[in-house]
Amino acid sequence: MSRAALALLAALSAGGAFAQERAIPPDQIKSGSAFLGQDLRSLQNDEFANPGMLWVERGEKLWREPAGKKNQSCASCHQDAKSSMRGVAARYPRVDAGAKLLNLEGRINACRADHQGAEPFRYESEEMLAITAYVARQSRGLPMSVSIDGAARAHFDAGRAAYRLRRGQMNLSCSHCHDANWGKRLLSETISQGHPNAYPAYRMEWQTMGSLERRLRACLSGIRAEMLPYGSPEYLDLELYLAWRAQGLPIETPGVRR
């Protein structure tokens, strides 16, 4: 389905009432960590025990390593990430100066290509997960605050439609689980509200770190729906919608999830 068709579907389903867009009242919005057991919440909050910190530490080394034909490091331009990257992850995905929607991974790869003359990192590669986790870590505790104004609005509309679209052999949409049934039990798990504020995150079922897109693909697999390639425009649109939907929730990267 085209982006225009998705946006039209969103407009029809929303009934033009943008002010009533949120299916979950603002005072009931909860991070995924609220649905974890105390053991995993404690693990996430323990900087020394959180397994995702291994990727953060590797990302810090990558930040300082010269790369590409220009032999430039991230630090060459951005200096100390603790100050220069503070708040950056909270604002992504966002539309860049070229009117292209980028998530944090896309922004990192654009910097590698434009400023380092380096090859882009592959999605789910150890390097991409590490540098993304490191950059996002600098915004830990800050509220998510993406913009859906201007050129971003078409992407937001398409992402909202994708979120509501029934798909797969089970004929389910994201909203069926994360709006209508959050807090209920699904086998041994409690259904969360589906917010992305902890990604990239370490998931016990994976025994490794993974990006938000890996999680989206796992959801699609679970409802027997087609999985698109990493970096597909539909994923980016959906990421923007999910980030907006989580407005105000604090960044938790690296999160720990079951």
**pLDDT for position 99:** 87
Average pLDDT over residues 205-222: 96
pLDDT tier at 108, thresholds 50, 70, 90: very high
On the 0-12 / 13-18 / 19+ scale of CB atoms within 10 A, 52 is buried
**pLDDT confidence bin for 98, thresholds 50/70/90:** confident
Which residue out of 74, 77, 111, 219 is catalytically annotated? 219
Mean pLDDT value of segment 127-153: 97
- CATH entry, 1-12+27-258, from 3.30.1950.10, 3.40.50.970, 1.10.760.10, 1.20.140.10: 1.10.760.10
* pLDDT tens digits along 28-82: 999 999 999 999 999 999 999 999 999 999 999 999 999 999 999 999 999 999 9
Mean pLDDT score, 145-162: 97
- The span from the CA of 123 to the CA of 196, in Å, is 17
Indicate if 174 belongs to the active site. no
Domain boundaries along the sequence of the chain: 1-12+27-258
CA dist 242 and 160 (Å) reads 8
Segment 122-147 mean pLDDT: 98
C-alpha–C-alpha distance, residues 19 and 26, integer Å: 12
pLDDT of residue 21: 59
Stated pTM of the model? 0.90
Who wins on pLDDT, 17 or 84?
A: 84
Is pLDDT of 9 > 80?
no
